[in-house]
Structure 1
Amino acid sequence: MDLNRQKKAPVYEALERFRKQRVVPFDVPGHKRGRGNPELVSFLGDRCVGIDVNSMKPLDNLCHPVSVIKEAEELMADAFGAAHAFMMVNGTTSAVQAMVLSHVKKGEKIIMPRNVHKSAINALILCGAIPVYIDPKVDTNLGIPLGMELSDVKKAIEDNPEAKAILINNPSYYGICSNLKAIVDLAHENGMKALVDEAHGTHLYFGPNLPLNAMAAGADMAAISMHKSGGSLTQSSILLCGPDANIGYISRIVNLTQTTSASYLLLGSLDISRRNLALNGASSFEKVTKMAQYAREEINDIGGYYAYGKELKNGGSIYDFDETKLVVNTRKIGLTGIEVYDLLRDEYDIQMEFGDLSNVMAYISIGDRLQDIERLAGALADIRRLYSKPEQSFFSAEYVTPIVKATPQEAFYAEKESLPIDETVGRISAESVMCYPPGIPILSPGEVITEEILGYIKTAMEKGCSMQGPESEDISELFVLK
C-alpha cells in the first residue's frame, strides 16, 4: 500500500471543488441543492443536500468511471490489496449478487454454506444456478452455526466436480472463520473460483492480529460492507477482485442491478473512509480489539453470561475467531438473546446489533468508547439481577438442516398456492423466511417445510425476533408449490 498516495480522496476532493463553484442546477435531483425542500435541509443540513447531486463530467459516473471515481477505485484496491475494486452504492447485497452472477449461469453449480445471507440465495433466483449446500456444523451449547469443515468442502467438490465456484462466509455474523486459505486453495486446485462474502470483515484488512482476509488468502472476489466496521455511510460497500478477474465482464454484471443514479454522499463516504482506514486503520482496530476484549472480561465477570472469544478455536469448524465481534450467550440467565436485546433498548437506551434465541451481539467498531462498554456491562448486570429466570432449553441451534427439492429459481417462479402455515408441513416452500438481522434464511425457496422448521419459526416469532420473507405480513401463511 502506497501511504503517500492514500492521503488523497479524489471523489471527496471533487465534491469540495464543486461545492465552491456555486453551479446553477438545471439537472436532477429536483430539490436543487435543497432550495425546493426546506424541510429536507432542516433535517440533513446545507452541506449534505448541497452535494446530493447527479453524475456530471467533473464528478465522473459510477457506471463507467474514467476520472475521479476511477482513481478512487484504484486507491481502494491499493488499500485492500486487490487488483481492482468497485465502489458499490446498492449495499453489499449487490456486491454478493455481482460475485455470484459473474461466475454461474442457469444450470451451473455453485458450492456454498447453507447459512449464507439472503442476497446469495436471491442471486440464484435471478440466474438459475444450482446451489450445492454444505451444512455447517453447529455449537448446540451456544446455539450458533459454525464455519465450513475442510472435509465437507472436499466432499462437495468430489461429488460436484463441474461446480464453477465456492462461496465462503468470512467471518460469519458471529465472528466464526473457516480455514479460508485452505478452502481458496482447494477451489483453485479443482478449477473453481473462490468468492468470499466478507460483509462483516472490513477491519480484517487493517487491524493487527485479526483473522486472514480474502485478498491475502488469494480469493478471486470479495464483497465488503464498508459501512459496517469501516465507518462509511449505510448502504455503501465495495467489491474486490483478484488479479485473474475479468473486470470488463464483472463491470457489465454490476451494472445490471446497480443504480444509474449513484449517491455522491455514499461515494464520498467510501472515499473518506478508505483514506481513514489506510492511514489510521491499524491503530484504530488495535483499540477496537482491546475494547472488545475488555468488554468480554467485564461481562464474563458478571456471571450467567458467556461472551465468547478465541478460546473456541478448534482448527476446523472454528478455524479462527474475529475478536471484534462481542457476542454474548444468554441461556444461563433463562432469557433469549432477543429478550435481552429488547430490555437493553427499552429499559436502558442501549441499541444492540441483534438478538437471536441464544445470543445478543454488540458490534464494536471505530466509533465506540470505553464508557459505553462500561454502561453496557452495567446494564447486563442489572438485567441478570432483575429479570433472570431458570435456564430453559429453547432449541438446539441457530440452524436447521434443509431438505432441498428444487432450485431457488424453479421454486420462486413455479405455480404456487398460499396455505395457513400449520398446513404446510411436507410441502415445498416458494418463499424465504428469516430473522432479520442477520438475514440468513431459516427456509428458502425449493426446500421442504418440516415440523422442526415450523417450530423454529414459531419460537422465534414468540420471542420477538423480527421476521421477514413471506408475502404474509404476520407469517400466518406461506406460499408453497402446487
Structure 2
Amino acid sequence: MDRQAQKRMPVYEALKKFKKMRIVPFDVPGHKRGRGNKALLDFLGEKCLSVDVNSMKPLDNLCHPVSVIKEAEELAADAFGAEHAFFMVGGTTSAVQTMILTACKRGDKIILPRNVHRSAINAMILCGAVPIYINPQMDKQLGISLGMSVDDVKKAIKENPDAKAVLVNNPTYYGICSNLSEIIKVAHEHNMLVLADEAHGTHFYFNHRLPQAAIHAGADMAAVSMHKSGGSLTQSSFLLIGKNVKAGYVHQIINLTQTTSGSYLLMSSLDISRSNLAVYGSEIFDFVIDLVGYARHEINNIGDYYAYADEKINGDSVYDFDITKLAIYTLPIGLAGIEVYDILRDEYDIQAEFGDIGNLLAYVSVGDRAKDIERLVSALAEIRRNYKKDHKGMLEAEYISPKVICAPQDAFYSDKESLPLDESCGRVCSEFVMCYPPGIPILAPGELITPEILEYIHYAKDKGCSMTGPEDMEIKRLNVIKE
C-alpha cells in the first residue's frame, strides 16, 4: 500500500472543486442545494446540502465510473489489499447480496453458517440458491453461537461437492472468528468461492493485533461495513474482490439492485474514511483495543458481569477473537441483555449497540473517550446494585438449530396462510422472524416452526427484544406454507 497516495481523496476533492464552480442547478435533486427546503437546510446545513448532488461529468457516475469514483475505488482496493473495490451505497446488505448473486444461480448450493445476517438469506430468495447450513457450535456458558468448525465445513463440502461457494462470518456479532485460512484452502481445493461477511471486520485490515482479514487470507469476495468501525456515514460500505472473480461481472450484478442515484454524501464519506484508515488506521485501532481492554477489566471487576475476550479461543470454532468487541454476559445479575440495554438507555442516557437474551454489546470506536467508558462502567455497577435478582428460570440459549424443509425462495413465494403464533407449530414458515439488531433470523422462510422456537419468540418479546420480519408487525400471527 502506498501511504502517500492514500492521502488522496478523489471524490472529496472533486466535490470541493465543484462547490467553487457556482454552477446553477437545473438538475435533481429538487431542493437545489437546500434553497428549496429551508427546514432541511436549517437541520442539515449548507455544507451538507451543497454536495447532495446528482451524477455529472466532473463528478463521475457510480453505475459506470470512469474518473474520480474509479480512482477512489482503485485507492480503496490498494488500501485493503484487494484486486478491486466497489463503493456500495446500500449498506453491507447490498454487498452481501451481490456476493451471493455473483456466486450462485437458481438451484446452486451455497455452504454457510445458519447464524448469518438476514441479507444472506434474502439473497437466496432473490436468486433461488439452496442453503447448506452448518449449525455453529455453541458456548454453553454464554449461550451464543460460535464460528464454523473446519471439520464441519469439510463434511459439508464432502457431502455437497457441487456447491458453488462457502460463506463465512468474519467475525460474528460477538467478535468470534473461524479458521479462515483453512476454510479458504479447503474450499479452493474443491473449486468453491469463499465469500466473507465482514460487516464487523473493517478494522482487521489495518492493525496487526487483530484477526486476519478475509482478502488477506485469500477470500474471493468480502463485504465490509465502513460505516461501523471504519467511520463513514451510515449505509456506506465496500465490496472487495479477489483475483478469482471477474470485477466486470460483479459490477453488472451490483447494477441490478443498486440505485442509479448514488449519494455523494455517502461516497465522499467512504473516500475520506478510507484515506483516514489507510494513513492512520494502525494508531486508531491501537487506541480502540486499549480502550476496550480497560473497559473489559473494569466491568469484570464489578462482579457477576462477564466481559469476554480472547480467553475464549479454542483453535477451531473460536479460532480468533476481535478484542475491540465489548460483549458482556449479563445473566448472572438476573437480567437479560436486552433488559440491561433498555435500562442503560432509559435511565442513564447510554445507547448500547444491542442487547439479546443473555448478552449486551457496547460498540467502542475511535470516537469514544475514557470518560465515556467510566460512565458506562458506573451505570453497569449501579444496575447490578439496584436490579440484581435470582437468575433461575431464565432462558439461556441464543441459537436454535433450524430444521430446513425447503429452499428460502420456494417458501417465500409459495401459497401461504396466516395463523395465530401458537397455532403455527409444526408448520413451515414462509417469512422471517428475528431480533434486530443483530438481524440473525430465529426463523427463516422454509424452516419448521417448533415448540422450542415459539418459546424463544415469546420469551424474547416478553423481555423487550425488538422483533422484526413478519407481515404482522405485532408478531401475533405467522405466515406459513399452505398445506
Query: For each residue in 1:287-338, what CA deviation from the matched residue of structure 2 results, as whole angstroms up to 9, or x when unmatched?
Result: 1000000000000000010000000000011110000010000011000000
Q: CA–CA distance in 1 between the matches of 2:320 and 2:393?
A: 28
**Within-5 A mapping of 1:71-220:** 71-220=71-220
Q: CA–CA distance in 2 between the matches of 1:243 and 1:2?
A: 20
Q: CA–CA distance in 1 between the matches of 2:389 and 2:194?
A: 45
Report what 2:410 is aligned to.
Answer: 410
Q: CA–CA distance in 1 between the matches of 2:38 and 2:207?
A: 42
Q: CA–CA distance in 1 between the matches of 2:396 and 2:291?
A: 31
CA contact (8 A) 1:208 1:285 kept: no
Query: For each residue in 1:208-229, what CA deviation from the matched residue of structure 2 results, as whole angstroms up to 9, or x when unmatched?
Result: 3100000111000000000000
Q: CA–CA distance in 1 between the matches of 2:207 and 2:41?
A: 37
Residue 326 of structure 1 aligns with an amino acid whose one-letter code is L
CA contact (8 A) 1:331 1:392 kept: no
Residue 393 of structure 1: how far off its partner (Å):
3.9
Alignment partner of 1:112: what SS? strand
Report what 2:268 is aligned to.
Answer: 268
Residue 394 of structure 1: how far off its partner (Å):
2.5
Query: For each residue in 1:153-174, what CA deviation from the matched residue of structure 2 results, as whole angstroms up to 9, or x when unmatched?
Result: 0000000000000000000000
**Within-5 A mapping of 1:39-438:** 39-438=39-438
Query: For each residue in 1:13-54, what CA deviation from the matched residue of structure 2 results, as whole angstroms up to 9, or x when unmatched?
Result: 000001111100000000000000010000000000000000
Alignment partner of 1:275: what SS? helix
Query: For each residue in 1:53-112, what CA deviation from the matched residue of structure 2 results, as whole angstroms up to 9, or x when unmatched?
Result: 000000000000000000000000000000000000000000000000001000110000
RMSD over aligned Cα atoms: 0.6
Q: CA–CA distance in 1 between the matches of 2:444 and 2:394?
A: 22
CA contact (8 A) 2:176 2:320 kept: yes
Question: How many percent identity over aligned positions?
Answer: 66
Alignment partner of 2:133: what SS? strand
Query: For each residue in 1:336-374, what CA deviation from the matched residue of structure 2 results, as whole angstroms up to 9, or x when unmatched?
Result: 000000010011100000000101011111111111011
Residue 407 of structure 1 aligns with an amino acid whose one-letter code is A
CA contact (8 A) 1:166 1:192 kept: yes
Q: TM-score, normalised by structure 2?
A: 0.99
Alignment partner of 1:116: what SS? coil
Q: CA–CA distance in 1 between the matches of 2:328 and 2:392?
A: 16
The answer for unaligned runs of 5 or more in structure 2 is none
The answer for unaligned runs of 5 or more in structure 1 is none
Query: For each residue in 1:132-183, what CA deviation from the matched residue of structure 2 results, as whole angstroms up to 9, or x when unmatched?
Result: 0000011121121000000100000000000000000000000000001100
Q: TM-score, normalised by structure 1?
A: 0.99
CA contact (8 A) 2:85 2:240 kept: yes
Report what 1:34 is aligned to.
Answer: 34
Q: CA–CA distance in 1 between the matches of 2:143 and 2:31?
A: 49
Alignment partner of 2:214: what SS? coil
Q: CA–CA distance in 2 between the matches of 1:219 and 1:185?
A: 9
Residue 4 of structure 1: how far off its partner (Å):
1.0
Residue 10 of structure 1 aligns with an amino acid whose one-letter code is P
Report how many residues are paired. Answer: 482
Residue 476 of structure 1 aligns with an amino acid whose one-letter code is K
Q: CA–CA distance in 2 between the matches of 1:462 and 1:244?
A: 48
Q: CA–CA distance in 1 between the matches of 2:221 and 2:139?
A: 29
Alignment partner of 1:274: what SS? helix
CA contact (8 A) 1:139 1:397 kept: no
Residue 397 of structure 1: how far off its partner (Å):
1.7
Report what 1:19 is aligned to.
Answer: 19
